A and B are shown apart, each in its own frame.
Chain A
Amino acid sequence: MLLEKLSNACGVSGREDEVREALRQELAPYVDEMWTDPLGNLIMRKGDGPVKVMLDAHMDEVGFCVGDITSEGYLKLKKIGGLDDRVLPGREVWVTQRRIPGVLGAKAWHLCSAEERRKAIPFKEMYVDLGCRSRAEVEALGVELGDPVYFATIFEHFSPRVVKGKAFDDRAGCAVLGGVLQGEAHPGITLYAAFTVQEEIGLRGARVAAYNLNPDLAISLEGTGCANVPGVDPKETITNMGEGPVISLMDAAGIPNLQVFNLLVEAAREAGIRYQFRRLTSGGTNAGRIALERAGIPACTVSVPCRYIHTNAALLNLDDLEGAVSLIHHFLRKVEKGEFRP
């Protein structure tokens, strides 16, 4: 399954190589051409119709890189992207794509003072233990400053439709985009699938891709927060897993183009696809940045609800993912019929 392959692949911001490779291999049969740009975005073109549509999904995940190697052979980390300190200690990690195993060590509970036990462990005090006894041993493994470090999470099914894996933000979006490419053709559209880099550190890859492609409209595909879980007020769940793909009302980076937004809602209604809105306006997505490129590009965001994003493991419902693919296809059909008027 594409999502499985992508979720297990390693790709923190700036080092998206494995994800790029997986996407290239899986999707080559379905597209007309592929290329990369100076930032490492992977762009695929399918079709050559009059309307240019850009669909973007970012390849990068939040994670870490090696900030320092201590003389005793431990790794000090730097965060890449936003991570909650409380979900880090005690996790297994992989260092580099070679997946050198390590653990994010934490002082044993027994050795902590009463006060320490009450507080979250500060990130500064965390380190990775590879089992090495010295810096030289670490270097002999070929580990260097700046090397990426990932959560060592393996994808699996919790049930036929609910899956667990790392980096669903935004491998879920990439899987949606892959699904769109693997599906029906849209002859009235030149479809650019932009698998972009460096979203997590500032919405960076998508904007240069948009500059180059200069599309008539763009949709960003994301994995978004979802909190229909115990202890959360129903009006603060952001989105609900199992209730369909999510259409953004507004986020920290942008206000969706009203026409694109309305067309998406219509497409969902006409096709009988259950959809929901994202009930949170903080957190930015690529669409907001794409909208400001060149002389302006109409854009909106569609997401798959994922519980526990930005941690070592998230959950999603495949129905939501497939619903997103279906929604995009119906939307593209409407665009082909001329219903988007710039």
Chain B
Amino acid sequence: MSSLLLERLHRLAALWGPSGREYKVAAALEEMIRPYVDEVRTDAIGNLIAVKKGAPGGKRVMLTAHMDTPGALALEVSEEGLIQLAPVGDLKVHHLIGQRVVWGSGVVGVIQHEAVDESKDLAFRKLWCDIGARSREEALANVPLGDMCTLVGELQQMGADLITGPGLNNRAGCAVLLEVAEHLQGALHEVAFVFATQGAVGPRGVAPAAYGLQPDAAFVVEMTPSGGLPGGPKVAVRLGEGPALKLKDASFVAHWRLSELVRSVAEAEKIPLQTEINSDVDRTGARAVAAAGYGVPTAALDLPARYLGTAGEMVSLRDLMGAADLLMKLLQGSLAF
């Protein structure tokens, strides 16, 4: 396994980069991918697009993972210096209570909630972030209105394969793209690695990117909840059993023949691949990519994860490597579908 994968995950997950404020992550990703591609650019909505040229006769393929994480926006500040929040993405109220966050300005804060008697009375507007300021003026001097915060914490390895911490969704997807960029050799096809913006609130950034590239095929790498835990999501996908090929979710149906190609390559190369037909998951970027311009045949390769949207997200390094490996094998083939 590439030792750079772990290092990249640590670096990427630690970066502040909520939806609409991805510039720091984009800068780091640009630095990390530059040695492996021929051209890097940023578009008007902040997507980072890195292109590795192909050979004549090759197709144009888009590989995409959104680089933003969900968080919260500073909407107002009380007289006592407590910051009132609005959600950016789908973080749940109870996952934020007591959590440490970091703001774009670099300031650290803690999130708390008004005292309530019952959990049904929990509400986002009753949360606040305490940065230790003693007045409204002091708070605003450290966190301007419109700034955003994200969960902060070090990634921890658990055993040989699992890793946990905040920010894995979707930096793990970005790390997979970096793996492919680094190790892809001798591909016929032109590959555009698109690190997209506003995926946690979207899909948003990914649509103009697909429009601009008009690829012949696209693969979207995102995270999906894994099941098998009592009281957890009732889904078939399991952590550690390989990436999951998503055929359908709440708003998207994958391109069948492209998905069949993914399945057959996984089988031929003996890469464990799960099938995901999860009707509850929404917001996938694949839907927006497929509808761009003349239409793009799109497949969705998901990374199983536990506890998405919390400070303790969990992924399997083996699943990430499997996804990267599978994508590489696809790109090294004829991509006929």
In-complex A–B contact (CB below 8 Å): yes
Interface residues of A (CB under 8 A from B): 235-236, 249-250, 254-258, 261, 277, 279-281, 291-298, 342
Residues of B within 8 A of A277 (CB): 75-76, 145-146
Q: How far is the CA of A241 from the CA of B227 in the complex (A)?
A: 50
B44 contacts A281, C-beta separation under 8 Å:
no
A281 contacts B43, C-beta separation under 8 Å:
no
Residues of B within 8 A of A292 (CB): 45, 204, 207-208
B146 contacts A249, C-beta separation under 8 Å:
yes
Identify A236's interface contact among B23, B44, B125, CB under 8 A: B125
B75 contacts A295, C-beta separation under 8 Å:
no
Write the nearest CB–CB distance from B74 to chain A, whole angstroms: 8
Stretch at the interface among B3-11, B80-88, B150-158, B300-308: B80-88
B45 contacts A281, C-beta separation under 8 Å:
no
Q: How far is the CA of A261 from the CA of B84 in the complex (A)?
A: 20
B20 contacts A250, C-beta separation under 8 Å:
yes
CB-CB contacts below 8 Å: B49-91 with A: 73, 75-76, 78, 84, 86-88
Write the nearest CB–CB distance from A297 to chain B, whole angstroms: 6
Q: How far is the CA of A281 from the CA of B204 in the complex (A)?
A: 16
Q: How far is the CA of A248 from the CA of B21 in the complex (A)?
A: 15
Q: Which 6 A-B pairs have the closest CB atoms?
A: A255-B20, A296-B45, A296-B44, A296-B208, A295-B212, A281-B86
Task: Kindly report which residue of chain B lies nearest to residue A291, judged by CB atoms.
Answer: B45
B208 contacts A235, C-beta separation under 8 Å:
no
Residues of A within 8 A of B212 (CB): 294-296
Q: Mark B313-326, 1 if CB is under 8 A from A, else 0.
A: 00000000000000
B198 at the interface (CB under 8 A from A): yes
A258 contacts B20, C-beta separation under 8 Å:
yes
Q: Can you list 18 A-B contacts (CB < 8 A)?
A: A235-B76, A249-B73, A249-B75, A250-B20, A255-B19, A255-B198, A255-B201, A256-B20, A258-B23, A277-B75, A279-B76, A281-B73, A281-B87, A293-B208, A294-B211, A295-B44, A296-B47, A298-B45
A254 contacts B84, C-beta separation under 8 Å:
no
Q: How far is the CA of A280 from the CA of B208 in the complex (A)?
A: 26
Q: How far is the CA of A292 from the CA of B44 in the complex (A)?
A: 9
Q: How far is the CA of A212 from the CA of B47 in the complex (A)?
A: 22
Task: Kindly report which residue of chain A lies nearest to residue B203, judged by CB atoms.
Answer: A292
Q: How far is the CA of A294 from the CA of B88 in the complex (A)?
A: 24
Residues of B within 8 A of A296 (CB): 43-47, 205, 208-209, 212
CB-CB contacts below 8 Å: B12-48 with A: 19-21, 23, 43-47
Residues of A within 8 A of B43 (CB): 295-296
Also in contact, A250 and B88, with CB within 8 A (given A292-B204, A293-B208) = yes
Residues of A within 8 A of B211 (CB): 294-295
Write the nearest CB–CB distance from A250 to chain B, whole angstroms: 6
Q: How far is the CA of A262 from the CA of B23 in the complex (A)?
A: 15
Task: Kindly report which residue of chain B lies nearest to residue A262, judged by CB atoms.
Answer: B146
Residues of B within 8 A of A236 (CB): 125
CB-CB contacts below 8 Å: B201-251 with A: 201, 204-205, 207-209, 211-212
Residues of B within 8 A of A294 (CB): 208, 211-212
Additional A-B contact list (18), CB under 8 Å, known A281-B75, A295-B209: A236-B125, A249-B86, A255-B88, A257-B45, A258-B20, A277-B75, A277-B145, A279-B84, A280-B86, A291-B45, A293-B208, A294-B208, A294-B212, A295-B44, A295-B212, A296-B205, A296-B208, A296-B209
Write the nearest CB–CB distance from B11 to chain A, whole angstroms: 23
Q: How far is the CA of A258 from the CA of B207 in the complex (A)?
A: 19
Q: How far is the CA of A257 from the CA of B125 in the complex (A)?
A: 25
Q: Specify which of B44, B87, B212 lies most central, judged by the most chain A CB atoms within 10 Å of its CB.
A: B44
Task: Kindly report which residue of chain B lies nearest to residue A278, judged by CB atoms.
Answer: B75
Residues of B within 8 A of A293 (CB): 208
Q: How far is the CA of A218 from the CA of B201 in the complex (A)?
A: 21
Q: How far is the CA of A292 from the CA of B21 in the complex (A)?
A: 16
Write the nearest CB–CB distance from B139 to chain A, whole angstroms: 14
Write the nearest CB–CB distance from B212 to chain A, whole angstroms: 4
Write the nearest CB–CB distance from A21 to chain B, whole angstroms: 34
Q: Specify which of B19, B146, B204, B211 lies most central, judged by the most chain A CB atoms within 10 Å of its CB.
A: B146
Q: How far is the CA of A42 from the CA of B146 in the complex (A)?
A: 33
Residues of A within 8 A of B23 (CB): 258
A298 contacts B87, C-beta separation under 8 Å:
no
A298 contacts B20, C-beta separation under 8 Å:
no
A249 contacts B145, C-beta separation under 8 Å:
yes
Q: Specify which of B73, B75, B87, B88 lies most central, judged by the most chain A CB atoms within 10 Å of its CB.
A: B75
Q: How far is the CA of A91 from the CA of B209 in the complex (A)?
A: 48
